[in-house]
Structure 1
């Protein structure tokens, strides 16, 4: 199998505007089939879910299809998929639910590598319960979060460990299975932020071994919302706050209000698109695995091209794992140019590579970047060599 990036690019209307997009970590561009699925749903008769009218049945079908697609993407069961407005909202909801069981003396572990959406909800929930948040540090030179870094702050009173599967700022990929095993060793649950990993590699929630996995479809070519996966048996043990008339079944008891049917239809279309990035046969899960494997190879080649190109430029400081075991994300600064100046200068040259801390406040502080942060260049399924060359030429021009 080969990855045909030209064929992939042809499916993205936004690319016709001409920019080289390295802003995917903040939200990817959307293929036409996703927009079509959303529009088709909005043009169709849809009502609150039910079993009487065609409009009600259509809503039921859309939700069932989206749960099935999301489960295929992460290797889980449809009954464990919970949809929400965003990863942040879902995380706050789960944190508040779990915190009902916490009290003074209990501890919650978060890491300084994480996006704040996998830090602050747990800090707030711990404070409300009288529990104590504990921070696991990472090595700012290698940008690695070692298992030992997490183990150093575990205790018999640890109730949960929140950890990223891939840093949205650096791309660093901690050893989540080993961290989850360490958490289980002290009787704690593990909550895994998969927002930045899901768009770039095969996800298998069983192999990751965390108890919760959460991600955002708009980072992998879909619309703006989020979904969480947990084993249905685990969800059955949790009692979230909800309206009295809401279903008490799993996963519905976690989904507040009417679901956005058009966005769920778009998510199904996005996952089907990912499954067909390369030609193949088999179940959707099998095609997802094959396609994401080839995508990861394609993106790794482009990441090498960026890293080698930036390394050859004077005045460029790169941050991150030097072994390149990371998602295709490069964080850098240029001597004599502020991150904001680089952001604007790149945009003026038709290259969309934003700058900042990207809500990874603890991570940026640990790296000594302050509130200004750095420039982040992220590769997406539609990125090609010409995009990379435009980025490198623009950086070289600004670095002069």
Structure 2
């Protein structure tokens, strides 16, 4: 399968500034078709959703298209797609709502591999109702988080287990399906942070057994917002505070206020762009085409092959550099590498690379428990992440910069 990275890059105006971007895990650059979708929505007549005026119908179609696109991306019934300001905000909202069903002595399980947005909301919600929090450690030498480690913390009082589908700090992809099995055997719900994973791999939420899956379109070429995917029947059991006149239908009951139609249109365009990665054949108008789910699977297969090749090149070079320690060691990972350089503060390394036009940020990236478990404290390390627009020249520049630095 051929991946036309030049064709992909031609759709990213930001790349004309000349930087080599390895900062995708914190937010990807945006293709022109996504920006156009946002722009076109903002300059079109749009009103509150309805069926009477053209402006009302346009808003309704934007919302429907958004749910359909994200449903295709995550293999989820569109009625189970919830829009949110961010994945963090959605997690906090649902943590508070689900905690209403917990009682003192109930248990919630979190892991030290996760981004803090999939830890602190559950810790705080548990504290508010007197529930117990159980922690699961990962192996800091390998970066692995096993289903057995999760199972060891489960009991008849476990109500929810929160895990990541991929570590945003070191790239580890835990066995989500295996974890879901042990969680469900214990009678608990499995909440999965898919923010980092969704940008790199094809997702089938139901096949993975995730009761809830969150992701952020701005990590996969879209605008800044968040998405939650779940079975509509499960969402029917979750109650939240809402205004009296607002809809109580699923998924609208979770989307308070008027929706930002321009961001939803941009997210739809991002999904359509991902669906064209295998063929470099994009519909400039963003119109929905047939078999989007199948094209997404092909697009992600092409993307994984492209990122694996570049990732292998980069990782081999990094591990060969004297004084460089790589912390991304799991057998199955995203193309995200965390490393440190002996005798150099990671922020200094970041700055030196930035001077060369290479964007590789440093820190703990809100995965503070993970950073501490790795022995890096709150300072973390330098993180490099690949994206659909990364090419060999970008990798060459990063490697050359690090060789000069060490």
What's the TM-score, normalizing by structure 1? Answer: 0.98
Q: How does 1:240-319 map to 2 (within 5 A)?
A: 240-279=240-279, 283-319=291-327
Q: Tell me how far apart the structure 1 counterparts of residues 375 and 98 of structure 2 sit (CA, whole Å).
A: 33
Q: Tell me how far apart the structure 2 counterparts of residues 96 and 317 of structure 1 sit (CA, whole Å).
A: 40
Residues 52/162 of structure 1: CA separation in 2 closer, same or farther (3 Å cut) = same
Q: Tell me how far apart the structure 2 counterparts of residues 322 and 55 of structure 1 sit (CA, whole Å).
A: 50
In the other structure, the counterpart of 1:82 is 82
In the other structure, the counterpart of 2:69 is 69
Pairing 1:159–2:159 present:
yes
Stretches of structure 1 lacking an aligned partner (at least 5 in a row):
none
Pairing 1:374–2:381 present:
yes
Q: Tell me how far apart the structure 2 counterparts of residues 46 and 86 of structure 1 sit (CA, whole Å).
A: 23
In the other structure, the counterpart of 1:339 is 346
Whether the 8 Å contact between 2:50 and 2:56 is mirrored in structure 1 is yes
Whether the 8 Å contact between 1:25 and 1:168 is mirrored in structure 2 is yes
In the other structure, the counterpart of 2:328 is 320
Give the CA deviation at 1:241: 1.4
In the other structure, the counterpart of 2:104 is 104
Q: Tell me how far apart the structure 2 counterparts of residues 238 and 282 of structure 1 sit (CA, whole Å).
A: 33
In the other structure, the counterpart of 1:219 is 219
In the other structure, the counterpart of 2:117 is 117
CA RMSD after TM alignment: 1.0
Give the CA deviation at 1:322: 5.0
Whether the 8 Å contact between 2:277 and 2:299 is mirrored in structure 1 is yes
SS of the aligned residue for 1:369 comes to: coil
Whether the 8 Å contact between 1:2 and 1:294 is mirrored in structure 2 is yes
Structure 1 runs (4+) greater than 4 angstroms displaced: none
Whether the 8 Å contact between 1:195 and 1:219 is mirrored in structure 2 is yes
Whether the 8 Å contact between 2:161 and 2:183 is mirrored in structure 1 is yes
Q: How does 1:176-195 map to 2 (within 5 A)?
A: 176-195=176-195
Give the CA deviation at 1:282: 5.3
Q: Tell me how far apart the structure 2 counterparts of residues 163 and 244 of structure 1 sit (CA, whole Å).
A: 34
Give the CA deviation at 1:166: 0.2
SS of the aligned residue for 1:198 comes to: helix
Deviations 1:282-308 (A, max 9, x none): 500000000111100100011100110
Whether the 8 Å contact between 1:141 and 1:320 is mirrored in structure 2 is no
SS of the aligned residue for 1:62 comes to: helix
Whether the 8 Å contact between 2:172 and 2:330 is mirrored in structure 1 is no
Pairing 1:47–2:47 present:
yes
Q: Tell me how far apart the structure 2 counterparts of residues 157 and 79 of structure 1 sit (CA, whole Å).
A: 30
Stretches of structure 2 lacking an aligned partner (at least 5 in a row):
282-288
Deviations 1:38-86 (A, max 9, x none): 0000000111111221111111000000000000001111000000000
Q: Which moved more, 1:309-318 or 1:277-286?
A: 277-286
Count of matched residue pairs: 398
Pairing 1:208–2:198 present:
no
